Amino acid sequence: MVKGELKKLLTVKDVAKLLSVAQSTVYSWVVSGDIPYYKLGKAIRFKEEDVLQWLELHRRENMKAKQLARLMRKRL
């Protein structure tokens, strides 16, 4: 990271609001090591781009769309 690129780190409350989940859910992701975070003393912080990338990795496609695609492949 070059000088001037440091962006504001998010708190647990910020991440909970960003993802529309409870703060306790974010804490459970931290404890399980599921979500990337920084530990600064006792404070837990997140980089917004890390959280958004993590969110994208956890995207699930609509099961009906998957089933339809599978059926279409079988017909070809």
Q: Structurally, how many domains does the chain consist of?
A: 1
Q: What is the pLDDT of residue 27?
A: 97
Does residue 65 lie in a domain region?
A: yes
Does residue 42 lie in a domain region?
A: yes
Does residue 5 lie in a domain region?
A: no
Does residue 3 lie in a domain region?
A: no
Does residue 1 lie in a domain region?
A: no
Residue type, 1: M
Does residue 6 lie in a domain region?
A: no
Does residue 7 lie in a domain region?
A: no
Low-confidence ranges of the chain (pLDDT < 50): none
Per-residue pLDDT tens digits for 51-60:
999 998 887 7
Q: What is the pLDDT of residue 48?
A: 95
Q: Pick from 51, 67, 44: which is nearest to 19 by CA?
A: 51
Does residue 4 lie in a domain region?
A: no
Structural domain boundaries, residue 65: 12-75
